[in-house]
Chains A and B, each alone.
Chain A
Amino acid sequence: MKLDELASAITELAGPIERTEQLHGQLAIHVTPQRWHEVATVLRDHPRLAFNVVTFLTAVDEEADGFEIVLSLWSARRLHRVFVKTVVPRDAARIATLSDVWRGANWCERETWEQFGITFDGHPNLVKLLLPIEFDGFPLRKDFPLMTRELKDFPGEKEPV
């Protein structure tokens, strides 16, 4: 399926979505956080879409705009890919879990939770995955300092000669 066809198929089947975006030959759909779980279920279940693989799930810190949650889906049956994106506000960073839609989302959500502090409602086991349990703070947030850069300026900032 071509990207345009896939985009129109998703808009047709998944109900109202905010917008679609195409960049460098890849398709992203933006949905509201309220429809996150619902859209995911349609993407998995509809035979024309059949997204059965969670490639990854992560977030991007957009500072004042909140956190953009990015889900990458791949259909091993139809051989197409889509990125599902949504934005949650900084002060209320929570969204429904997808670990009941794809079991593979479980670890991805645990990682996103510990790194960004985004809560996944309904997650069966939301505990730290990679970080030590006593670790304080959410390292991938932009306001979390990287100590080596605090102590010494980034050498790449200098203009090369």
Chain B
Amino acid sequence: MSSTETRHAGMLPGGPGESIQVVVASDEEFETKDMTLSIGPQHPSTHGVLRVVLTLDGEIIKDAIPVVGYMHRGFDKLAEARDYRQIVALSNRHDWLSAFGNEIGVVLAAERLMELEVPARATWIRMLMCEWNRVLNHLMFIGSFGLELGAMTPIFYAFREREEIQALMEMATGARLHYTYCRVGGLKEDLPKGFIQRSASLVKIIRSRMADYEGLLLGNEIFKKRTVGIGRLDPQVALEYGVSGPILQATGVAEDARKTEPYLFYDQVEFDVPVGANGDSYDRFHVLYLRVLESLKIIEQIHSKIPAGPIMPGKMPKNLKPPAGWTYVRTENSLGETGYYVVSRGGTEPWRFKMRTPSFHNVSMIPELLRGVLLPDLISVLGSVFFVVGDVDR
């Protein structure tokens, strides 16, 4: 039943103190309708073309459906028609922010199937590149997350640092984005003269500049207000969806392939897996920030550990023909677990080359995160589920 009451409306026409009549409808009479809102596929908070279809009740998100596939190019099919050495070039393109982290898994899979011994120097250099790539990737997200929340400065700082890391990696690999530096058995080339010194001085520079981000974002009152307690993720839900990387670690699960299933020489370096306490947007960002510091720690240890020696095994066959079999290689890429499930039938091309990417599983969890969140917080939630759409769609 509706009722009529007299209320005082301070700022309404009629002036202060003057009463107006307000009709208050009961719930049955005042029907609300859900609204469907499509965000994307072109939206600045999505780093590529992701579309999210939202069902809104007022400002509250009742349901969210990610629509993916705009960048699907059929990696698995393309890999089936290529030599293992060619897949390296194919694999570092879908996640354009961590190219080296993608290609390492491909060569590790081929080497395991062929039972190939990789020279120690090559393995250490691979690790060094993996970690620099991780810093490169995380700096991008540190900068862009700030941008999405309205802070312009951090992205300029992040790109200043990224430029120097890209120059460093270009020095060794000859490429700024798609390195294709790995070869089955080792590496394309040895490190150039002066690389280690330059890398060592860059670690010091980046570390000193990391304090800027702490001041700009982590300690920023506005940033905290928009991220603390927003988009909380439960660790059990995260695990069930196969979420990995900083998103999982922010929920308090210290799961990191470098620790739990060590590959390369990660068992010979010391580092911590940072974890969050609440699994909210702030924690996800904080874990990402701490991961950079851990990576820098690893890089410093690698500098003193790279031995002299060859970077490729002595004699490599003209045609790579891994014997029949299957294997799954798991690597801790910048955004989580990147894995390759490879089935060989003894030919030059793999029979099946399944790529497991972290962003695919992380994005599939997004509906759980968005349900019940206010629409203005959407950006804070989406931006903190750090993903690359190419990595989702493959």
Contacts and interface: CB of A to CB of B under 8 A. Distances in A.
Interface of A: 23-24, 26, 28, 52-56, 58, 60-61, 70, 72, 76, 79, 81, 83, 102-104, 106-107, 115, 128-132, 139-140, 144, 146, 148-149, 154, 156-157, 159-160
Given A24-B325, A56-B242, 11 more contacts: A55-B339, A55-B356, A56-B339, A58-B354, A60-B351, A81-B261, A81-B328, A83-B328, A129-B68, A156-B348, A156-B349
B349 A107 contact: no
A76 B240 CA distance: 10
Interface stretch (B34-42, B80-88, B182-190, B277-285): B80-88
A52 B69 contact: no
Interface string B357-394: 00011001100000000000000000000000000011
Given A52-B239, A52-B240, A160-B318, A154 B77 contact: no
A54 B242 contact: yes
A24 B110 CA distance: 12
A56 B326 contact: no
Most buried by B among A129, A131, A149: A129
Nearest 3 pairs between A and B by C-beta? A130-B69, A156-B83, A104-B241
Nearest to B73: A130
A79 to B, nearest CB: 5
Given A23-B326, A146-B77, A53 B242 contact: yes
A76 B327 contact: no
A102 B240 CA distance: 6
B69 A104 contact: no
B343 to A, nearest CB: 6
B111 to A, nearest CB: 11
A107 B364 contact: yes
B68 A130 contact: yes
A13 B318 CA distance: 47
A24 B113 CA distance: 8
Contact of B69 (A60, A72, A102, A129): A129
B76 interface: yes
Given A60-B351, A104-B361, A154-B81, A55 B69 contact: no
Contacts of A148: 81
Contacts of B82: 154, 156
B341 A70 contact: yes
Contacts of B83: 156
Contacts of A160: 318-319
B112 A24 contact: yes
Contacts of B343: 60
Interface in B315-355: 318-319, 325-328, 330, 337, 339, 341, 343, 348-349, 351-352, 354
A18 B72 CA distance: 36
Nearest to A156: B83
Contacts of B361: 104, 107
B73 to A, nearest CB: 10
21 contacts: A28-B326, A52-B236, A52-B239, A55-B330, A56-B354, A58-B354, A60-B351, A76-B239, A102-B240, A102-B241, A106-B364, A107-B360, A107-B361, A129-B68, A130-B72, A130-B393, A140-B77, A146-B77, A146-B78, A156-B86, A157-B348
B69 A24 contact: no
A131 B341 contact: no
B71 to A, nearest CB: 9
Contacts of A107: 360-361, 364
Contact of A61 (B260, B325, B349, B352): B352
B69 A131 contact: yes
A129 B112 CA distance: 32
Interface string B61-77: 00000001100101011
